[in-house]
Amino acid sequence: MDVFLQTLVAGILKGGLYALIGIGMTLIMGVMGIINLAHGQLMMVAMYITYVLHLAGVDPYISLFVAMPALFLLGCLIQRFLLNPLLKVDTILPENQVLMTVGIGMVLTEIIRFIFKSDYKSVSTGYSNATFFLGNISFSIALGISFIIAIAFTVAMFFFLIKTDIGRSIRATAQDKDAAVLMGVNTGRITIITFGLGSGLVAAAGCLLAPVYYVFPDIGGPFTARAFIITILGGLGSTVGAIFGGVTLGLAESFGATYISMDYENIIGMTIFVLVLLFLPGGFKRLTKI
Amino acid sequence: MLKVDAIDVFYGDLQVLWGSSFEVREKEIVVLVGANGAGKSTTLKTISGLLRPKAGTIVFDGVRLDRLPADRIIGHGVVHVPEARRLFREMSVEENMVMGSLAPEARKKRRETLAWVYELFPRMKERRKQAAGTLSGGEQQMCAIGRGLMALPRLLMFDEPSLGLAPILVEDVFNIVKRINKEGVTVLLVEQNVRQTLALCDRAYVLENGSVVLQGTGKELLADPHVKEAYLGL
Ligand SMILES: Nc1ncnc2c1ncn2[C@@H]1O[C@H](COP(=O)(O)OP(=O)(O)O)[C@@H](O)[C@H]1O
Ligand SMILES: [Mg+2]
């Protein structure tokens, strides 16, 4: 029973971070209609920012305030100069924007590898391995704090999407682009802001994961895959769905690691992914208007 | 107020409007009638900037609309209530209304305008929390018109507001158009519903295969032999 509860809590805590990754991907999916296959690589860049700042003695939770704006800016630039121009060219390739994100992901990985080599780095802090007990169940303090911060960002994001004109314009553009243009929405600008926000959110996840994970150049790929799975689970384009998708994946990985084997973490995600595509093609549906 | 002069409009290589010209004067209700596929929607989309004319000009109060980016046109008071409503379906009625008032002037007066729109459409006030996609056809049309009014239009363009509505609702919609016009908003109305719209308008143009072939007051066109034969089935 304790093992079960322990696994459950670990899965939910992880799920909170995955939700943050998934919401960013989902926003981009909703507005631009593309899967951002550089999502995990953007997170990896944020982890290296955290790592460098850590060498300078900065706490990962403080690095958030550097990495998020930096990745927001990087995301905006990518959309403005690499993705939006593709809309104007005739191409023989369908989905050329998606292919571009694949390329961006590779370039980011190789630039980081060039600078930092392929070594595993760790951003270990005093609390990286600290735990506290509630009854017989132990919690990772780092994951607990990360979870709370992830929830705070998620709530802030929803507030932004619902209560501000820019947030509403993002949702409107996702629902009907031409109608949004008629209402005076500069949809080009909205795509840039959206890619920036998606990158900023995944950067937050990167900073929050850094203390409990290793940092290495190829960490992006598996997280792009996770983001993709979460987005599909959530029903492509639903931010609330992405939260459910994130928590589901977190739980599945956690239970898989406990009851099957640590080695199968990635396989479990992919298995759920295939099962959802086969049996629940709409994902967890669009549960709400957001 | 609005002068459309000899515009040619294409979808890719396919030319749809051929040197089409017409004008709308302050405070008028002008209708553009024509069969399905004549190019009515294309005309409105070109005025609101979703399409660009290859030739010709569109001038509104001295401003070349055909040179403005589409998202800047609503700020000049030219507002398009599109065909098939095009509401933001997963947003509430009220959020749809708010989306109509993004331009700086409209934004400042958002609260007052919303109160006015709810007075005009009490039904929309009742439904303000409901997702727009779940409204009935008539309510969706009201929501789309309300969203357009939120922009404080000087020229309001309607694309087939009666489409798909029961006859009794069609009557309602045309009454709303008249009422909005009485409040000082100039109206450009696109319709296939020829008999009713010619009766309510000040002037009308007949569009056939992308060109304006006839123009006159509503009365004149109702009496025109070609209009009678082709559009009124007489
Ligand atoms: N997106 C489009 N791509 C290509 N052709 C189009 C498109 N939209 C409309 N058309 C064509 O342009 C012509 C005029 O269409 P439209 O302006 O919608 O007519 P109306 O509104 O008068 O029914 C039609 O022949 C239609 O098939
Ligand atoms: Mg039409």
Tens of pLDDT along A271-284?
A: 877 887 777 666 65
- What domain range is A38 assigned to? 2-288
Angle between helical axes of A187-209 and A141-163 (0-180°, round to 10): 170
Between CA B105 and CA B77 the distance in angstroms is 10
On the CB side of B174, CA atoms within 13 Å amount to: 21
Predicted TM-score of the model (pTM)? 0.92
Q: How confident is the model at residue A241 (pLDDT cuts 50, 70, 90)?
A: confident
Top mutation candidate among B7, B8, B14 for ligand 1, by most atoms within 8 Å of CB? B14
| pLDDT surpassing 80 at residue A1 | no
Whether residue A12 has pLDDT greater than 80:
yes
With bands split at pLDDT 50, 70 and 90, how would you rate the model's confidence at A289?
A: very low
B122 lines ligand 1 (CB under 6 A): no
Asked if A168 reaches chain B (Cβ–Cβ under 8 Å), the answer is yes
CA A136 to chain centre: 32
Q: Residue B150: helix, strand or coil by DSSP?
A: coil
Residue range B60-75: mean pLDDT, rounded: 96
Residue B30 C-alpha from the chain's centroid = 10
To test the contact with chain A by mutation, choose from B47, B90, B149, B157 the residue with the greatest count of A C-beta atoms within 10 A, namely B90
Q: What is the CATH number of the domain that holds A139?
A: 1.10.3470
Q: Do B91 and A168 touch (CB under 8 A)?
A: yes
Spatial separation of the C-alpha atoms in residues B180 and B157, rounded to whole Å? 12
| Radius of gyration for the alpha carbons in chain A, expressed in angstroms and rounded | 19
Instruction: Give the percent of chain A with pLDDT over 90.
Output: 59
Q: What is the pLDDT of residues A84-100, one digit of tens each?
A: 998 877 766 667 889 99
Residue B35 has pLDDT above 50, yes or no: yes
Over pLDDT 70: what percentage of chain A?
A: 94
Poorest-confidence range of A55-69, A99-113, A225-239, B42-56?
A225-239
For every residue of A203-268, DSSP letters joined together read HHHHHHHGGGSEE-GGGHHHHHHHHHHHHHHTTSS-HHHHHHHHHHHHHHHHHHHHHT-GGGHHHH
| pLDDT (0 to 100) of residue A282 | 62
Give chain A's mean pLDDT. 89
Q: Do A181 and B70 touch (CB under 8 A)?
A: yes
**Contact (CB<8Å) A178/B74:** no
Does residue B84 have its Cβ closer than 6 Å to ligand 1? no
Q: Which of B91, B92, B102 sits opposite A165 (nearest CB)?
A: B102
Q: What is the pLDDT of residue A238?
A: 78
CA of B196 to the centre of ligand 2 (A): 17
Report domain B2-231's class: alpha beta
Question: Over chain B, what is the mean pLDDT?
Answer: 95
DSSP string for chain A? -HHHHHHHHHHHHHHHHHHHHHHHHHHHHHHH----TTHHHHHHHHHHHHHHHHHTT--HHHHHHHHHHHHHHHHHHIIIIIIGGGGGS--SSTTHHHHHHHHHHHHHHHHHHHHH-S--EE---TTSS-EEEETTEEEEHHHHHHHHHHHHHHHHHHHHHHHSHHHHHHHHHHH-HHHHHHTT--HHHHHHHHHHHHHHHHHHHHHHHGGGSEE-GGGHHHHHHHHHHHHHHTTSS-HHHHHHHHHHHHHHHHHHHHHT-GGGHHHHHHHHHHHHHHH-TTTT---S--
CA of B70 to the centre of ligand 2 (A): 19
Quote the pLDDT of residue A93.
66
The C-alpha angle with vertex A107 and arms to A61 and A157, in degrees rounded to 5, equals 40
Which residue type, as a one-letter code, is found at position A61? Y
Find which of A11-15, A81-85, A131-135, B152-156 is predicted with most confidence, using mean pLDDT: B152-156
Structure confidence at residue A287 (pLDDT): 42
Kindly state whether A176 is in contact with chain B, defined as any CB-CB distance less than 8 angstroms.
yes
Query: What domain count does chain A have?
Result: 1
Residue A285 vs residue B109, higher pLDDT: B109
- Output the pLDDT for position A286: 45
Between the CA of B39 and the centroid of ligand 1 the distance, in Å, is 6
Compute the distance between CA of residue A238 and CA of residue A14 in angstroms, rounded to an integer. 20
Residue B131, chain A, CB below 8 Å: the answer is yes
**Interface contact B70-A182, CB threshold 8 A:** yes
Which one, of B61, B90, B127, B126, lies nearest residue A174 by Cα?
Answer: B90
Give the range among A196-200, A233-237, B204-208 with minimum mean pLDDT: A233-237
Q: What does the domain layout of chain B look like in residue ranges? A: 2-231
pLDDT at residue B60 in the model: 97
CB-closest option in A183, A289, A290 to B99: A183
What is the spatial distance between Cα B108 and Cα B179, in angstroms, rounded to a whole number?
24
Q: CB of B67 within 8 Å of any CB in chain A?
A: no
B52 touches chain A (CB under 8 A): no
B115 pLDDT above the threshold of 90: yes
CA A162 from centre of chain: 20
Give the other-Cβ count within 10 Å of A252's Cβ: 19
Sign for the pseudo-dihedral over CA of B197, B198, B203, B207: positive
Alpha-carbon distance B55 to nearest alpha carbon in chain A (angstroms): 21
Residue-wise pLDDT tens digits, B191-223: 988 999 999 999 999 999 999 999 999 999 999
Chain A contact for B87 (CB, 8 A cutoff): yes
The answer to whether residue A33 scores a pLDDT higher than 90 is no
Alpha carbon distance B2, B25 (integer Å):
7
Q: For residues B155 and A229, what is the distance between their CA atoms, to the nearest angstrom?
A: 47
pLDDT exceeding 70 applies to what percent of chain B? 100
In this complex, is the C-beta atom of A287 within 8 Å of any C-beta atom belonging to chain B? no
Closest to B207 measured CA to CA, from B29, B43, B9: B43
Please work out whether the CB of residue B17 comes within 6 Å of at least one atom of ligand 1: no
Report the pLDDT averaged over residues A66-92.
91
Which ligand is located closest to the Cα atom of residue B34? 1
What's the B212 CA to ligand 2 centre distance in angstroms?
15
**B45, B88, B140: best to mutate for the A interface, most A CBs within 10 A:** B88
Task: Calculate helix-pair angle for A141-163, A239-259, nearest 10 degrees.
Answer: 160
Would residue A117 be called left, alpha or beta, if left means φ above 0 and alpha means ψ between -120 and 50 degrees? left
B21 has pLDDT over 90: yes
Q: Between the CA atoms of A67, A70, A73 and A78, what dihedral angle is there, to the nearest 10 degrees?
A: -80
Phi, psi (5° rounding) for residue A5? -60, -45
Question: What number is the ipTM of this complex?
Answer: 0.95
Provide the pLDDT for residue A237: 67
Read off the pLDDT band of B232 (50, 70, 90): confident
CA distance B208 to B32: 10
- Structure confidence at residue A284 (pLDDT): 58
**Is A182 in Cβ contact with B74 (below 8 Å)?**
yes
For residue range B72-111, list pLDDT tens digits in order. 999 999 999 999 999 999 999 999 999 999 999 999 999 9
Chain B residues touching residue A187 (CB < 8 angstroms): 71
So what's the pLDDT on residue A92? Answer: 66
pLDDT confidence of residue A288 = 43
CB B40 near ligand 1, within 6 Å? yes
